[in-house]
Amino acid sequence: MSKKIYLFSLVLLALTFTACSETEEVGKYDNWQARSEAFIDSIANVYVGQQNGSIAVTDEKERLYAFTDLTNNQKIYVKKIQDGDGTESPVYTSTISAYYRMSYLNGDVVQQTFTGTEPTEFDSPTEFSLDGVISGWSYTLVHMKAGDFWTLYIPYQSGYGSGTGSDGSLQAYSALVYNVKLDKIVDR
């Protein structure tokens, strides 16, 4: 009888190890390049499907625009959420102050300078030169005015490409979603 219990325990243990070794967990970033491309294609389809002149109307307030990143010949789609009260736009060599949230297509936040739905007086903007950022930013932010609040849909080619960031913190081939509010032009 003890041999049967021992044999049964041994078979059960072997089956457990076999079952565990064959199970592969699907990662949330699997097939990321194809998913990033499909995400941008879906934004492009909305833009083309609802296009009215040079813009696509997504509802009465929001409009979807497309800008071309001439460096990579990629379309960057922009949803204008709120118009600001500024009158001037920065140029490619300008230093600006802005609030932003960078996230992946699945909603994972990568970096942010504000935590709510939009910046408040308790949040702090960051300053940077437009010629020192990814081309997806530099080709779109030159169209903003102080106070504008936009959502940018940037294909990976106009973002960080196949790179993972200097500290390995970014997923390669990531389409990026930025919520950006231009605070001010610091230096033209």
pLDDT, average across residues 46-57:
62
Residue 18 has pLDDT above 60, yes or no: no
Confirm whether 176 is domain-assigned: yes
pLDDT digits over 76-109, tens only?
Answer: 999 999 999 999 999 999 999 999 999 999 999 9
Query: What does the pLDDT read at residue 110?
Result: 93
The answer to whether 63 touches 80, Cβ cutoff 8 Å, is yes
Confirm whether 6 is domain-assigned: no
CA dihedral 89, 83, 158, 26 (to 10 degrees): 160
Confirm whether 8 is domain-assigned: no
Query: What does the pLDDT read at residue 1?
Result: 57
Distance, in Å, from the CA atom of 149 to the CA atom of 181, rounded to the nearest integer, reads 4
Confirm whether 100 is domain-assigned: yes
Q: How confident is the model at residue 113 (pLDDT cuts 50, 70, 90)?
A: very high
Q: Which of 188, 177, 93, 99 minimizes the C-alpha distance to 131?
A: 93
Those residues whose C-beta lies under 8 Å from the C-beta of residue 188, and which sit 6 or more positions away, are: 88, 90, 91, 93, 94
Confirm whether 25 is domain-assigned: no
Determine what percent of the chain is predicted with pLDDT higher than 70.
77
Least confident of 12-16, 26-30, 32-36: 12-16
* Residue 142 exposed, middle or buried by CB count within 10 Å (0-12, 13-18, 19+): middle
Q: 170-182 as b/e, with b when 16 or more CB fall inside 10 Å?
A: bbbbbbbbbbbbb
pLDDT digits over 128-162, tens only?
Answer: 999 999 999 999 999 999 999 999 999 999 999 88
Task: Pick the more confident residue, 73 or 5.
Answer: 73
Query: What does the pLDDT read at residue 64?
Result: 82
Could you tell me the residue range of the domain that residue 129 belongs to?
32-187
Which CATH number is 96's domain given? 3.10.50.40
pLDDT, average across residues 15-31:
64
Q: How confident is the model at residue 48 (pLDDT cuts 50, 70, 90)?
A: confident
Confirm whether 24 is domain-assigned: no
Q: How many domains does the chain divide into?
A: 1
Confirm whether 170 is domain-assigned: yes
